[in-house]
Chains A and B, each alone.
Chain A
Amino acid sequence: MSSAPRPYGSRAAALILLMLPVALYLLVFVYPLSSVVTLSVDNSALSGRFENLSALGTGAAPDDEAAALLADLGGMEKKQLGEVARMLNQQRSGFRSLIMSTGKEAEGITPTMAELVAFDDRWSEPGYWEIIRENAAPITWKHYQRALGITVAEDGSLSSGEDLYLQVMLRTLVITFQVTLLTLLVGYPLAYAAANASARVSTFVLAVVLLSFWTSVLVRTTAWVVLLQTNGLVNTVLVSLGLVAEPVQLIFNRFGALLAMTHVLLPFAILPMLNVMRTIPPSQADASRSLGAGPIETFLRVYFPQTLRGVAVGGGTVFILSLGFYVTPALTGGPEDQMLAWFIADFVNKTLNWGMAAALSVLLLVMVALLVAVAGLARWATARRKVEVA
């Protein structure tokens, strides 16, 4: 309409410039995330391998079942046989050798149930057959059932069984809350000092925070081990001061894990709070004091409410980061302080049970999403109440 130059350029240019970040975002975030979700329910590596047996359906003659099984096992490549054996063994110990030995000899066994049982009498147990049948569907919930400690009875009813991973998840949440609270309690005064003290003090505090921020997590964690161990620096000082009679256990327990995690995550709490605190003009405090409020009332009613935004960002960042912590609690905590990430890493690396690792990861993600939703709901409710009051 007008020929005046548009100050922000064309919308098309902005859109084109946005495309690359969006494409990258889709590539590095949404795609891996969706493949993790897929991995947690995908059973195609098992379901597709027993075509003959699945085609029979239930109630077939035992000899037909034996023949179908032998045809399925005999048709597998060595690599597929190993994969099937590993996956079935995750559900029942001993399945591996049963599948491997039967699979290798499949062509030499006469395809009748009697001969199959004669080859290995474990085939007479219905339990093994049942597990194969359970895995006929391409989608499975078995990893989630195991993660949530749910046992499915034959009639389809659910009951709770081993709740190992639920306990670990609960523990992960508790440690995360503890660490978040500690970083905020320690970080707030530090951020306050950096924002309000003299230039020299504030530079010093900031330098200390940034220096530890730039040091590797592993180095800082190991440093705590050196400091806190039985004959370490802290214990030596405590004993020589006569504060304790003999060295105290400061590490390889919850205390050590919390201390190290708090230290590692502290900068993530301090920096956002500091940012917000710097924007609050000191004149506000002067105004409040001149209007008759004491220092405590000034802090509580004028200063503190304005910093809550920084506290929320800092606390939120620490919370999300510590949920996925692995190395620090592994090195400074005890047996009762290992978090969910440790178990996920174990499934990925040691047993190749990527389905189980994916299911646990998804549950961790769901847990975060739920917490964020609850926090959002609470904020929305408070905001509405304020509007009503006004």
Chain B
Amino acid sequence: MRHFGSATISALAVICAGPAIARDFTIAAWGGNYQDAQRAAYFDPFAKAQGLTILETTYLGGLAELKAMGDTGNVTWDLVMMGGTDAQLACDEGLLEEIDWEALGGGSVLLPGAVQECAVGNVVIGNGFAYNASAFPEAPKDWADFFNLEKFPGKRGMTNNPTMNLEYALMADGVPPAEVYAVLSTPEGVDRAFAKLDTIKAELQFWEAGSQPVEWLVAGNVGMSTAYNGRIITAKKEGKPLEFVWNNHVYNMDVWAVPKDSPFKDQAFEFLKVANDAAAQVKFSEKMPYGPTNTGATAMMPAEVVANLPMGDNISTALAYSDAFWIENYDALKERWSSWVVQ
């Protein structure tokens, strides 16, 4: 019996280990139009220059996959695009390769927040709210309007998470963007954010995927919804009557990282040079309305492209998302959020 069991285990081990021996350079990113634009701006030129075949897959956020790769030693990704918070957490856990900034030219051409220990900031994303232009006679213009059910009746779309939503609630309650995280660091500030959220709780509808706010707003399921600027502006270009509100939006960064012990580590670092290139970033932003991290890219972009990006005039009233705050407080605030949802 024991022999038989161990034979089975070794047979299974051989079967499972088989495919890991030889595989193509693998990139995990957010999928959809976002990844299509990355393919055109970065993946295809890089594959051609290096003579590589690239395999693409989808990453859904979180650290579970990277942790599993680190624990089993079976590293199946060579490059991953993740949120800044997750990248910092993964870096602390030793799940990512450290970036050799000297080899990348020091990173002085990038935004300061893009230069991280284990990651390279590549994309700036605007998180705000959107509405269907045909739904209201008067356009909502700030977070106070988002929380005003009398003037703007209808359901409100939101993620089922405290991140960003607590910031939105405080700004709706009159906290200036510069003071949001200071207020949120106090117990009274957290109470204040939840009290503001209480006022729209009955009308909340939670979205999981970035495509849902677009579908819901077009179908009239919700009056307003928080959303990524890229999704809304892409839908608008396709003729949907949607508007994105830039006022007091929260912008954060998506970063490229290399999973620890990737067999294609050297090629992955070569890729980072392509991703940092100003011209390539302009090409990406023209296809997908998210902002560049190379400060030189701004000057190369036509004004009508800039008007749809979280940069320039659009970020004059914006709040920079704090990865540091959420790394520290996510566990406790997530539990508070879930309890609030259940009650």
Please list the residues of chain A having a beta carbon within 8 angstroms of any beta carbon in chain B.
Answer: 19-20, 23-24, 26-27, 77-79, 81-83, 85-86, 89-90, 92-94, 96-97, 100, 162, 164, 167-168, 171, 229-232, 247, 252, 330-331, 334-336, 338, 343, 346, 348-353
Contacts and interface: CB of A to CB of B under 8 A. Distances in A.
Given A89-B328, A338-B160, A252 B205 contact: yes
Nearest to B7: A23
* Pairs of residues from A and B, 7 with the lowest C-beta to C-beta distance, nearest first: A79-B94, A82-B92, A349-B62, A93-B332, A82-B93, A164-B339, A349-B64
Contact of B327 (A96, A229, A350): A96
B92 A229 contact: no
Contacts of A338: 160, 341
Nearest to A81: B92
B328 A162 contact: no
B279 interface: no
Given A82-B93, A351-B334, A26 B62 contact: no
A100 B63 contact: no
B5 interface: yes
Given A82-B91, A94-B328, 18 more contacts: A20-B8, A24-B8, A26-B5, A92-B332, A96-B327, A100-B92, A162-B339, A164-B338, A229-B216, A231-B221, A330-B208, A335-B206, A336-B341, A343-B338, A346-B334, A349-B62, A351-B330, A352-B67
A82 B328 contact: no
Nearest to A330: B208
B1 interface: yes
Contacts of A90: 331
A5 B127 CA distance: 78
Interface of B: 1, 4-5, 8-9, 12, 60-64, 67, 89, 91-94, 160, 204-206, 208, 216, 219-221, 324, 327-335, 338-339, 341-342
Q: Is the interface of A mostly helix, strand, loop or mixed?
A: helix
Nearest to B327: A96
B328 A86 contact: no
Nearest to A91: B331
Contacts of A97: 324, 327-328
B334 A229 contact: no
A349 B342 CA distance: 21
B332 to A, nearest CB: 4
Given A93-B331, A350-B61, A86 B8 contact: no
A352 B64 contact: yes
B338 A27 contact: no
A73 to B, nearest CB: 14
Contact of A229 (B1, B63, B208, B219): B219
Contacts of B94: 77-79, 82
A20 B4 contact: yes
A4 B342 CA distance: 70
A17 to B, nearest CB: 12
A168 B63 contact: no
A278 B220 CA distance: 47
B329 A352 contact: no
B4 A23 contact: yes
A229 B216 CA distance: 8
Nearest to B330: A351
A331 B207 CA distance: 8
Nearest to A162: B339
Given A24-B8, A230-B221, A335 B204 contact: yes
